[in-house]
Structure 1
Amino acid sequence: MTSIIKLHCLSGAGDESPPCYVLQIDEFKFLLDCGWDEKFDMDFIKELKRHINSIDAVLISHSDPLHLGALPYAVGKLGLNCPIYATLPIYKMGQMFMYDLYQAHRNVSEFDLFTLDDVDAAFDRIVQLKYNQSVDMKGKGLGLRITPLPAGHSLGGTVWRIAAPGEEDIVYAPDFNHKKERHLNGCEIERLMRPSLMLLGAMNADYVQQRRRLRDEKLMTTILTTLRGGGCVLVCSDTAGRVLELAHMLDQLWRNKDSGLVAYSLLLLSNVSYNVVEFAKSQIEWMSDKLTRAFEGARSNPFALRHLQLCHSVAEVTRTPGPKVVLASFPDLEAGFARDLFLLWAPHPQNSIVLTARTSPGTLARDLIENGGERTIELTVRRRVRLEGAELEEFLQQQRLKVNNTVKEETAGISSDSDSDGELEMWVVTGRHDIPVRHDTRPTGCFKSNKRHHAMYPFHEERSRADDYGEVIKPEDYRLAEIVDAEGEIRDVPPAPPPKQEPEEEITEIPSKCVTSVREVAIKANVQYIELEGRCDGESLLRVVAQAKPRALVGLRAQDRALATLSKHCQAEGIEKVFTPQRGDVIDATTESHIYQVKLTDSLMSDIVWRKAGDAELAWLSAVVAARPHQRETDATAEDTSSDVVMSLEPAAGVAHAASFINSVRLSELRAAIAKLGLSAEFSGGALELCNGTLAIRRLENGRVALEGVLSEEYYKVRELLYDQFAIV
């Protein structure tokens, strides 16, 4: 059975925009990734909104915002409510990415595209899978099966294999790495052999990558030269993806006493650095075979990083004395702590800035990679400052008005009058008094008296200073002076911070505002681009395509030059169908030709007579293809964005057809059925003779079954039994 396969390129086609595609297999629609760029492009969101109600499942391939950045917005604001499939590390690390991204923008602007609740709601919908765990789709997706395969590049990174009914096999591989790294295995290329359709991320098709040993030496030389010169090194990395490879590598260098790096500080700076390292410690089984064997044998956790200090603010970094190396997020330098440190360190020539990834065009990091440093640029500086003076007084006045309005709303339903004099009304007011008292007043004239209430008996609930067992436990009283790390070495434990005193009253958010200014930044620091993205280089990417030998290929998320290189290579390898779509295009990747999709109308289905044949039911259908008579005009919010007009099947009046007998009858089975009627039947000369030779059933040369004999009561019984063996339509 052949399926109708279409790919709607919402983003990530013909350019380096984030990957987001709608893959339609018959009536079932997958959303392949849901990335967002550093600028939060809303044009892409408008296109996604048109499809959001028709999406049946979401497949996420990596944990960074490039692949799932728009997921909280889609769930929280657009109403995406279908299952989302991803591996366990993508679930864990993806949350860390989005928490860090939200906080980085919230620290400098009134960020309102999504909230932390939206992030939690989106990740609560994720169905966590293991590698090679197959899941069958239900409902409209009956017959479809998805399987996540290791992709390398990032922890939990996935190449998705989608098995469609028949021999259709689709592979979605946006970013992968075939080479083993320090903390990750490579992609399993042998699992990608001979797919019907390969959706390939082709950004590196024309990219010549430097050898890993040379890249590591360049990074090491930059770090040593800068530190010995009294400067600091800013390594721009991500939150919870490629930073794990960097942290593991640098911690190994710091452990080497001959390197001379022990005298300097190594810091990891992000809003969630502690959680990232803790999650990495618990996900060793998802990492390389080397690290897994080391953990199983010596029980040494590779991410028990001895020399890496975890920081959560720029102030912690500045308090660390002496030259230092800081791994900070984000690599695009558009927001986050990496941008803050860049503004601080770039004007000083003794410092170094290391860029590790080619981010989207238009970002500060991409500009530095293409145009280099040693120049003065204008940057928009955004920061959040506390309110002072008149602004603070105005803010506090507004807060008081809100509180007063709340009190009035709560007490609006309580009448100040009472049916009986001397009756006290008991009600709770907002504040520190809980019992009001009313002074008796005498009525004057024909008007009711205004009985006012005054609060008495001040009430204040004292918070308990003990736990359920009568004593407050202070963790610092029980802290060990030292612990033994995974490798048997003893190191001091930093003193635990003092426990926070629980405030007696709820502390409101510190009043602040966001200010924006334009600053000229003189870049005098040494700016180095050392590619540590962990993706397939151009030569290896083309080899993978030649080895996989897909019957059809779609090149995604690449510039025209890379797409041209990929197309030329595919033609040389004999791959006939090569698609290079642009953003917004719809690709019809159906394997067979002359296949069309039609709607079955209610009038047609109501006239069909079904006949049972074994486990199936069959019917004869006489219909004509016509335009849908009640097709409504497509409005602006229609979810169907394809340009094809879906036709319908209408009943064909006055069309006669000869009866068709559907089934293959065995004479031995027919003999057993005849015996149940009480008739004798024996094989003679290849025919089945009945009733003392008066009736015979024989198989003709064309495969049909013929009944011969004298017309009698037995003849009609046998003929009826013979008809029952077929589905006659």
Structure 2
Amino acid sequence: MTSIIKLHCLSGAGDESPPCYVLQVDEFKFLLDCGWDEKFDMDFIKELKRHVNTIDAVLLSHSDPLHLGALPYAVGQLGLNCPIYATLPVYKMGQMFMYDLYQAHRNVSDFDLFTLDDVDAAFDRITQLKYNQSVDMKGKGHGLRITPIPAGHSLGGTVWRIVAPGEEDIVYAPDFNHKKERHLNGCEIEKIMRPSLLLLGAANADYVQQRRRLRDEKLMTTILSTLRGGGSVLVCTDTAGRVLELAHMLDQLWRNKDSGLVAYSLLLLSNVSYNVLEFAKSQIEWMSDKLTRAFEGARSNPFALRHLQLCHSVVEVTRTPGPKVVLASFPDLEAGFARDLFLQWAPNNLNSIVLTARTSPGILARDLIDKGGDRTIELMVKKRVRLEGAELEDFLQQQRMKINNTDKEDVGGISSDSESEGELEMCVVTGRHDMPVRHDTRPTGCFKSNKRHHAMYPFHEERTRADDYGEIIRPEDYRLAEIVDAEGEIRDVPPAPPQKQEPDEEMIEIPSKCVSVVRAVAVRASIQYVELEGRCDGDSLLRLVAHAKPRALVALRARPHAANTLAKHCESEGIEKVFTPNKGDTIDATTESHIYQVKLTDALVSGLAWRSAGDAELAWLSAVVAQRPRATCTDAEEGEPEPEDDEMMSLERARGGAAHSAAFINSLRLSELRGALARAGLPAEFSGGALECCSGTVAIRRLENGRVALEGVLSEEYYKVRELLYEQFAIV
């Protein structure tokens, strides 16, 4: 049976916006990725909000904000409540991406689009899968099966294969890399052959990629020439994706004594650099075969990077003496430590800024790639500063007022309880404690009063911060000063991640405010673009399409020129159905033609006479197709039903429908009928291809056209046999 397949492009169609699509297979709706751009476009959120209540499952392909950046907002603010599927590395590294993204913006602005609690709530909903682990959907998704396939490009990166009822094969491949890298295997292309529908990320369809050896040489030359010239190198990379490839490559270069780089420092700077490297050490089985064999053979972890120093603030970088190479997040230079270092290092012509990814148009990194350096640009510089003087006094006064209001509410609660018992209390507020004083003003009568016993001096127990001998406990004093890595070299222990504060401990928040100013930044440092995105280039992309030979193809995230290049190639390869949608378009990718989706009204279903046939329920329906009434304004405001549902037709019972002949539904086997006759006390035997019973007076035989004939003498046994025969069918 053919499924009705539709794709609604919320984002990532006709341009370079982040991927986010609603794939509808019959009544089941997948949300394919949930990316957000660097500017946090709210127009995209408005479009997502219209569909969020109808989504049945979410599939995440990669761990970066380009593919899941809006997920915390959708779960925490829009109320997205459905299963989310991703691989284990996407789950782990995706959390690190979002923690770093939140903290990078929170450090310089009053960022309130989502909180860390929203991030945790979103990732708690994720079902973690392994590669090639199939999962069957439930409910109205019965018959659908999803399978993650290795995609390359990033750790845990996924190409999703969706098998629909009728064995239709849908492949969603937004970003992938068919080539093997230092820490990743390539995409398993052989597992996506001949799909019914290929949803292909085609942003690189017209992109000519430089050879890997030349790209690596360009990066090494930039680093060596800058360091030997007395400058420092800022490599703008992501938090937990492509940075692993870069870190592993540069650490190997530092290990080479002939390179002369041991005298210089190699640093990894992000809010979660320690956690990212620890997660990478524990996920070697998700990496390339070469690293897996090295780990199993030598028992040395390839991500015990002995030359890479972990930093969590710009101050730690500044304290590191001499020329240095810093891998800092984020590659777009819109926020994070990379932007902070860019503002410091760009005016110095001895330094170099290495950009590793093409970001969205209108972003600082994209502007530097297109126009280069050696110019002065105006940037909005944001920072958080401590309150001083009158501002600090105003803040402290507001805090005191909040505390006093809270105390008054507590006092009011105690007084109301007392008055309900016919008593009056006076409460003297002493700092953080209330001291109730009781005064009986009413006679208790002849009955004994049951007074509530209140503590005279309520006591707030402070959390112990010292041991039994009064010594102050400082956990950092008990950490080891050094550890020995897998290769026997001693290095400093990176700072431990901040511990969660106990509820009983007081929150000590430094009063601060966010300020922004437009500043002219002289870009005198060398600007180098070294493409290290790890995506399939244009020539390889076209070859993959010719090799896979899908019956239909949708070009995603493709600019007009790239979409035209891909469409012409598909035409030459005999692929007739090629869709190049724009943002907001809905594509009907149903394989068969003249198939329509209709709704069954409640009045129609309630009047049907159902018959059981095995595990199924059957009924005869005589109806006509009619236009459904338009949705009311209230429904439209709430987003239910969706706009496309208003155009869906419905079935209504036909008036005065003609009588129909009874239909017998089942594929009868005479051996099963024989067993039913035996249980009813009518033994039967096969004779001459017929089933004879009742001493040979009744016979059941199968005709050439597949129908069953009942022959015999009219008697009580005959009608009993006929009744048992009818019971083998669902008669509608």
**TM-score (normalised: structure 1):** 0.91
Give the match for residue 616 of structure 1: 616
Give the match for residue 708 of structure 2: 705
Query: Could you list the per-position Cα deviations for residues 324-351 of structure 1 after superposition, in whole angstroms to 9, with x for gaps in the alignment?
Result: 1111110001111111111111111111
Contact 2:267/2:309, CA 8 A, preserved across alignment: yes
Give the match for residue 351 of structure 1: 351
Give the match for residue 663 of structure 2: 660
Give the match for residue 540 of structure 1: 540
Give the distance between the partners of 1:535 and 1:299, measured in 2 at CA. Answer: 31
Contact 1:50/1:639, CA 8 A, preserved across alignment: no
Give the distance between the partners of 2:608 and 2:31, measured in 1 at CA. Answer: 36
C-alpha spacing 1:214/1:308, structure 2 compared with 1 (3 Å): same
Question: Does the alignment pair 1:626 with 2:629?
Answer: no
Q: How does 1:275-674 map to 2 (within 5 A)?
A: 275-414=275-414, 429=429, 431=431, 435=435, 464-467=464-467, 483-491=483-491, 506=506, 508-628=508-628, 632=632, 634-635=636-637, 637-642=639-644, 645-654=647-656, 655-674=658-677
C-alpha spacing 1:409/1:705, structure 2 compared with 1 (3 Å): closer
* Alpha-carbon shift at residue 724 of structure 1 (Å): 2.7
Query: Could you list the per-position Cα deviations for residues 518-573 of structure 1 after superposition, in whole angstroms to 9, with x for gaps in the alignment?
Result: 11111111000000000001111111111111111111011011111111111111
Contact 1:424/1:437, CA 8 A, preserved across alignment: no
Contact 1:432/1:458, CA 8 A, preserved across alignment: no
Give the distance between the partners of 2:340 and 2:660, measured in 1 at CA. Answer: 79
In structure 2, give the amino acid aligned to 1:599.
K
In structure 1, give the amino acid aligned to 2:248.
H
Please give the root-mean-square deviation of Cα atoms over the aligned residues, in Å.
Answer: 3.2
Give the distance between the partners of 2:386 and 2:577, measured in 1 at CA. Answer: 60
In structure 2, give the amino acid aligned to 1:575.
I
Structure 2, gaps ≥5 residues long: 441-455
In structure 2, give the amino acid aligned to 1:659.
A
Give the match for residue 722 of structure 2: 719
Contact 1:554/1:578, CA 8 A, preserved across alignment: yes
Question: Does the alignment pair 1:171 with 2:171?
Answer: yes
* Alpha-carbon shift at residue 688 of structure 1 (Å): 4.6
Give the distance between the partners of 1:6 and 1:624, measured in 2 at CA. Answer: 25
Secondary structure class of the residue paired with 1:412: helix
Query: Could you list the per-position Cα deviations for residues 140-189 of structure 1 after superposition, in whole angstroms to 9, with x for gaps in the alignment?
Result: 11111111111111111111111111111111110011111111111111
Contact 1:253/1:259, CA 8 A, preserved across alignment: yes
Q: How does 1:176-215 map to 2 (within 5 A)?
A: 176-215=176-215
In structure 1, give the amino acid aligned to 2:576.
E
Contact 1:172/1:200, CA 8 A, preserved across alignment: yes
Give the match for residue 451 of structure 2: none
Give the match for residue 450 of structure 1: none
C-alpha spacing 1:667/1:474, structure 2 compared with 1 (3 Å): closer
Query: Could you list the per-position Cα deviations for residues 287-326 of structure 1 after superposition, in whole angstroms to 9, with x for gaps in the alignment?
Result: 1111111111111111111111111111111111111111
Secondary structure class of the residue paired with 1:113: coil
C-alpha spacing 1:81/1:461, structure 2 compared with 1 (3 Å): closer
C-alpha spacing 1:428/1:170, structure 2 compared with 1 (3 Å): farther
Give the distance between the partners of 1:344 and 1:672, measured in 2 at CA. Answer: 89
* Alpha-carbon shift at residue 705 of structure 1 (Å): 2.5
C-alpha spacing 1:460/1:125, structure 2 compared with 1 (3 Å): closer
Contact 2:700/2:710, CA 8 A, preserved across alignment: yes
**TM-score (normalised: structure 2):** 0.90
C-alpha spacing 1:615/1:33, structure 2 compared with 1 (3 Å): closer
* Alpha-carbon shift at residue 409 of structure 1 (Å): 2.4
Secondary structure class of the residue paired with 2:396: helix
Give the match for residue 32 of structure 1: 32
In structure 1, give the amino acid aligned to 2:212.
R
Query: Could you list the per-position Cα deviations for residues 399-456 of structure 1 after superposition, in whole angstroms to 9, with x for gaps in the alignment?
Result: 222222222222234559999xxx997968452666577999xxxxxxxxxxxxxxx9
Give the distance between the partners of 1:644 and 1:460, measured in 2 at CA. Answer: 61
C-alpha spacing 1:700/1:127, structure 2 compared with 1 (3 Å): closer
C-alpha spacing 1:608/1:258, structure 2 compared with 1 (3 Å): same
Give the distance between the partners of 1:621 and 1:304, measured in 2 at CA. Answer: 68
Give the distance between the partners of 1:626 and 1:268, measured in 2 at CA. Answer: 64
Give the match for residue 2 of structure 2: 2
* Alpha-carbon shift at residue 241 of structure 1 (Å): 0.6
Secondary structure class of the residue paired with 1:235: strand
Give the distance between the partners of 1:581 and 1:134, measured in 2 at CA. Answer: 30
Give the distance between the partners of 2:532 and 2:113, measured in 1 at CA. Answer: 30
C-alpha spacing 1:287/1:428, structure 2 compared with 1 (3 Å): farther
C-alpha spacing 1:724/1:241, structure 2 compared with 1 (3 Å): same
Give the distance between the partners of 2:338 and 2:679, measured in 1 at CA. Answer: 86
In structure 2, give the amino acid aligned to 1:651.
R
Contact 2:155/2:286, CA 8 A, preserved across alignment: yes
C-alpha spacing 1:192/1:411, structure 2 compared with 1 (3 Å): same
> How many positions carry a matched residue from both structures?
713
Contact 1:476/1:498, CA 8 A, preserved across alignment: no
Give the match for residue 447 of structure 1: none
* Alpha-carbon shift at residue 696 of structure 1 (Å): 4.2
Contact 2:610/2:617, CA 8 A, preserved across alignment: yes
Contact 2:148/2:158, CA 8 A, preserved across alignment: yes
Give the distance between the partners of 2:469 and 2:149, measured in 1 at CA. Answer: 51
Q: How does 1:72-151 map to 2 (within 5 A)?
A: 72-151=72-151
* Alpha-carbon shift at residue 675 of structure 1 (Å): 5.1
Q: How does 1:150-165 map to 2 (within 5 A)?
A: 150-165=150-165
Give the distance between the partners of 2:406 and 2:496, measured in 1 at CA. Answer: 41
Query: Could you list the per-position Cα deviations for residues 356-381 of structure 1 after superposition, in whole angstroms to 9, with x for gaps in the alignment?
Result: 00011110000111111111111111
Contact 1:53/1:639, CA 8 A, preserved across alignment: no
Give the distance between the partners of 1:392 and 1:24, measured in 2 at CA. Answer: 55
Give the match for residue 446 of structure 1: none
Give the distance between the partners of 1:498 and 1:378, measured in 2 at CA. Answer: 36
Contact 1:268/1:327, CA 8 A, preserved across alignment: yes
C-alpha spacing 1:221/1:661, structure 2 compared with 1 (3 Å): same
Give the distance between the partners of 1:535 and 1:390, measured in 2 at CA. Answer: 54
Contact 1:348/1:524, CA 8 A, preserved across alignment: yes
Contact 1:407/1:430, CA 8 A, preserved across alignment: no
* Alpha-carbon shift at residue 677 of structure 1 (Å): 5.3
Contact 1:586/1:642, CA 8 A, preserved across alignment: no
In structure 1, give the amino acid aligned to 2:361.
P
C-alpha spacing 1:472/1:591, structure 2 compared with 1 (3 Å): same
Contact 2:411/2:427, CA 8 A, preserved across alignment: no
In structure 1, give the amino acid aligned to 2:650.
S
Give the distance between the partners of 2:491 and 2:673, measured in 1 at CA. Answer: 86
In structure 2, give the amino acid aligned to 1:53.
N
In structure 2, give the amino acid aligned to 1:646.
M
Contact 2:425/2:439, CA 8 A, preserved across alignment: no
